[in-house]
Amino acid sequence: MINVLFVCLGNICRSPMAEGLFKKLVADKGLNNQISTDSAGTASYHLGHQPDKRMVSTAAGHGIKLNHMARQFSKADFNEFDYIVVMDESNYNNVMKLIPTKSNAKVIYMRSYDDYVLGVKEVPDPYYGTMEDFQTCYYILESCCRNFLKEIIESIGINNTSSNS
């Protein structure tokens, strides 16, 4: 089993969207029993909250139902996850502050999988933005999630039988 964790600040906008999107891509490939996906936030502002309504409606517009309760990233996550995928530099720094001396988890930037905007590190935070910013966020995440899943499949030689996406 490959365990993937998406991390943002509040765990109500970017990372639950990435989680929902990635879960759908994984399910479409028939890989539910080989890849598990979760999300977390580095801050505790929204613990237990459902994703932001604006992200829920953006996701719904793309046929994705978000179902996650916000939780805070913790040191224990380094033992649970193979990939910890962060949205921006502050997420990266907050995650790295907690990294144990020995950890096999790969901490990576989501946008390292974006093939359109090379050199851009961050998935912009839409929280204080417009509905258009939420839509842009979705498209960035979709492109990154597709490339990320492709890389996982190639790196571990998963035999994906279904290929409708």
The catalytic residues are: 8, 14, 125
Which one, 20 or 41, has the nearer CB to ligand 4NP? 41
Give the binding-site size for ligand 4NP (rule: CB under 6 A).
11
Contact 106, 83 (CB under 8 A): yes
In the complex, least distance from residue 14 CB atom to ligand 4NP, rounded to whole angstroms: 3
Does 116 participate in binding ligand 4NP (rule CB under 6 A)? no
Strands lying side by side in the sheet with 83-86? 35-41, 2-8, 83-86, 106-109
Site string for ligand 4NP, 11-50 (x = CB under 6 A): xxxx--------------------------x---x-----
Q: How many helices (H) and strands (E) does the chain have?
A: 5, 4
Of 7, 17, 11, 5, give the one whose Cα is nearest residue 134: 17
Q: Is 97 exposed, middle or buried (0-12, 13-18, 19+ CB in 10 A)?
A: exposed
Which one, 14 or 23, has the nearer CB to ligand 4NP? 14
Interface ranges with ligand 4NP (CB under 6 A): 8-14, 41, 45, 125, 127
